[in-house]
Amino acid sequence: MFSGKENIRDLNVSQIGEFLISVGEKKFRAGQIYEWLWKKGVTDFGQMTNIPSGLREKLNELFFIDGVNISFKISGKDKTTKTLFQSFDNLNFEGVLIPGKERVTACISTQAGCPLNCSFCATGELGFKRNLNSGEIFDQVFKLNKLSEEIFNRNLSNIVIMGMGEPLLNYNNTMSAIDHITSPSGLGMSPQRITLSTAGICPEIKRMADDDAKINLSVSLHSADNEKRSVLMPVNKKYDLNSLKEALKYYYNKTGKRITYEYLLLGGINDSGEDAVLLTEFTKITPCKINLIEYNPHENDSFASPAKEKTEAFMKFLESRNLVVTLRKSKGQDINAACGQLANKKQ
Ligand code: SF4
C-alpha cells in the first residue's frame, strides 16, 4: 500500500530537518512536523495545519505515517476496556485500559503475535507476525490516553508493557517508543510510571541496565523450578533460571532498582508449598516485589484457576518470609482481557 514511501516516524528531528533542506524547505518546520507526529499524534499529513499545503503534499508523496486504528473495543462490568488495534498492514494487536481506585493503567503490545509460545498464553497460539514499529507502540499509548479521558475523565497514570509480544525481542523500537512517550517534546510521561515485563531475555536485561533505562522491570517468572518453567515457558530452555538470576543481579547492581516478579497461579501446576519455597529462594537474590495473579481461563483451555485456599496459603507463606506480595485479581474476565484472547477471537 505504501510501496516506495518511507515511514516518516523512522526519522528523528534532525533527519527530518535534513530532508527539508534537501527539498528546498525551511529547516525549522522539522520541529513543527515532529510535534504533529509525536505530541499531537496525527496519522495524516493533511492534519498538520501549520505546515504549508505544498509541503504537506510533498510529504505525502514521499512518506507515510504508520498510524494504528482502534478497530474494536469492549468494556467489562468492572470498566476494564479492551481494544483491538489494527496496523497499516492489517495486523491485529491488543491494548487494555485498566481502571483502579486512583489510577488508570494502559497495557500495550510490542509485537503482533509472539514467538515465545508460553503454554498458558493465547497470544502464543497466534504465532509471530512481526515487531511493532516505535510509532505503533507509541500510538497505543496516545489512543488509550484519549480513551481514558473519554471513559474515566482522566489521563493515563501508568503504562505496563505487558500485552502481546516480548518487548526485549523488539528492544530498539520499544525503547524508542518509550523515549517519545517520556520526552517533553512527546507525551512527557514519567518513566517511573512505566513498567516493562519480560519473559527473561537475559542479554537484553543487562542491556537495559547498561543503557540506564529509567523504567521499571518486571519478570514473568511463573515457576522457580527449571523443568516446570521450561514446560510453561519454552524460553527457559535458552535462558534458564541460573542465567536469569545472574542477569537480574547484574541489573540490580547497576541500577539499584527493585525487581517485580509476575507469578501466574495455575491450579495444580505451580501453586504447591514446594513451589512457594522455590520462589522464595529465587527471589531473595535482590530486593523485589511479587505480584501473584490468579489465572484467567480462556476457551479450550487446559489450565485452571487455583483453589482459593491454595492461593491464600501460597501468599501467606511468602509473606511469612518477609516478601512484599500482592494478589492481582483477574480483571475483565467477561471480555477476554488476558493477553491474546481478543485477537485470537477476532482471528
Ligand atoms: S506470555 Fe508474553 S512472552 Fe509468553 S507467549 Fe504470551 S505474549 Fe509471548
pLDDT tens for each residue of 331-346: 666 666 566 665 665 5
Identify which of 132, 166, 237 to mutate to test ligand 1's pocket (most ligand atoms within 8 A of the CB): 166
* Angstrom distance (rounded) from CA 295 to CA 293: 6
Residues with Cβ within 8 Å of residue 207, at least 6 apart in sequence: 171
Residue 251 pLDDT exceeds 90: yes
pLDDT tens digits for range 88-110? 999 999 999 999 989 999 999 99
* Residue 169 per-residue DSSP state: G
271 CB under 6 A from ligand 1?
A: no
Indicate if the alpha-carbon torsion angle 265, 268, 270, 272 is positive or negative.
positive
Known active-site residue 339: yes
123 CB under 6 A from ligand 1?
A: yes
pLDDT tens digits for range 218-239? 999 999 999 999 999 999 999 9
Cα 12 to ligand 1 centre (Å): 31
Copy the grid coordinates of residue 46: 493533511
Beta pairing class for 104-108 and 92-99: antiparallel
Residue 39 pLDDT exceeds 90: yes
Average pLDDT in the 184-210 region?
96
Identify which of 94, 108, 120, 123 to mutate to test ligand 1's pocket (most ligand atoms within 8 A of the CB): 123
Residues with Cβ within 8 Å of residue 220, at least 6 apart in sequence: 118, 197, 198, 199, 200, 233, 262, 264
| CATH assignment, 6-64 | 1.10.150.530
Residue 32: its pLDDT value, please? 96
| CATH assignment, 69-346 | 3.20.20.70
Q: Where in the chain is the domain with CATH 3.20.20.70?
A: 69-346
* Angstrom distance (rounded) from CA 120 to CA 303: 7
272 burial via Cβ count (<10 Å: 0-12, 13-18, 19+): middle
Q: Where in the chain is the domain with CATH 1.10.150.530?
A: 6-64
The whole model's pTM is what? 0.93
Residue 114 pLDDT exceeds 80: yes
Cα 235 to ligand 1 centre (Å): 10
Among 251, 271, 267, 285, CA closest to 314? 271
Residue 116: its pLDDT value, please? 95
* Angstrom distance (rounded) from CA 299 to CA 321: 36
